[in-house]
Structures are given as structure tokens and as C-alpha cells.
Amino acid sequence: MRKRTAVIAAVAIVAVGGGIAYAAWSSSGAGTGSVGSTADVNSTISAVDGAGGLYPGHTVSFQVTIDNPNDYPVKVTGISAGASALVNGCAEGTVTSSAVTNPAGTIAAGATGTYTLQATMDTDAGDACKSQSFTMPLTATLSSAA
């Protein structure tokens, strides 16, 4: 009788335990997730130095910095050509800079990059162009480098 009681108890434990495992419910879920993109912030170009040494027909190097106020790295894909404004009698367009395509380097998020450009004074520049500082508007195009 003891043996029979032990077998019945073992079967009962297995049945109850198996019933608990079998009675455990399973389910699945469905729905959606949501994320948003950031907005870009325009960069600014600033002069690093006012390179001197220009005279009619001569070319000098000058540097500009481009900042990246975005939360992601960017690559400068181009910098536009520039032309000087009228300066104290020195004609508009007397000093020009060439466009630059795909300059090297990436600008990290929140950082700045320095770029070297070339400026040339027109061969017909008159005396009014002596000892002047020339400002050229420039535009940079950038793309995400992430």
C-alpha cells in the first residue's frame, strides 16, 4: 500500500506541476514605435586672417573657418567663389576667390574646420586698391557625414 500511495503521490505531483506549466498563458503584442529626426542648423563662415601681399595679378592664400552647430558630423562639399565689393574707390570684383569642390576633412558635431582658399587681385587694379582690406561673401555647402 505504501508503494501504491507513493506512486499516486508522484503522479499527482507531476500532474499538478505539469498543469501549472500547461496553464501558464502565453501572449504576443503588436503596436508601433516612434522616433523623430533633428533639424539642421546653418553653418557660418568666418575669416581667420586678413592675408596681405595682394597686388595686381598676384594670388595669395587666405583661411576661413566653417562651424558645425549640428549634433552630427558634416563634410564640406563645396565653397563658392567670391568677389570683393566696392572698397574706397577700388572697383567691385577687383579681388576674387575661386570655388573649391570637396575640400578634405570632416567637421565634428559642434566643432569648426579651417579651409585655405586663394584670392587673386585683378591685373587692372588701380591705385585706389592699395592698402585696402577686401571682404568676399562666400557660401559653403555641407552634407551629413554620419
At residue 38, the pLDDT reads 81
For residues 8 and 23, what is the distance between their CA atoms, to the nearest angstrom?
22
Fold of 45-144: Immunoglobulin-like (2.60.40)
| Mean pLDDT along residues 127-138 | 95
Which residue is it, cell 585683378?
A: 122
Single-letter code of the amino acid located at 110: G
With 0-12 / 13-18 / 19 or more C-beta atoms within 10 angstroms meaning exposed / middle / buried, residue 42 is exposed
Q: Say if residue 144's pLDDT is above 60.
A: yes
At residue 134, the pLDDT reads 93
Name which of 56, 102, 60 is nearest 79 in CA terms: 102
pLDDT digits (tens, 9 = 90+) for 10-42: 555 555 555 555 568 888 889 888 888 888 888
For residues 4 and 6, what is the distance between their CA atoms, to the nearest angstrom?
5
Instruction: Yes or no: say if 72 and 142 are a contact pair by the CB < 8 Å rule.
Output: no
At residue 93, the pLDDT reads 97
| Domain spans of the chain, in order of start | 45-144
Q: Say if residue 121's pLDDT is above 80.
A: yes
Q: What's the whole-model pTM score?
A: 0.74
Q: Residue 95: pLDDT band by 50, 70, 90 thresholds?
A: very high
pLDDT digits (tens, 9 = 90+) for 38-94: 888 889 999 897 678 999 999 999 999 999 999 999 999 999 999 999 999 999 999
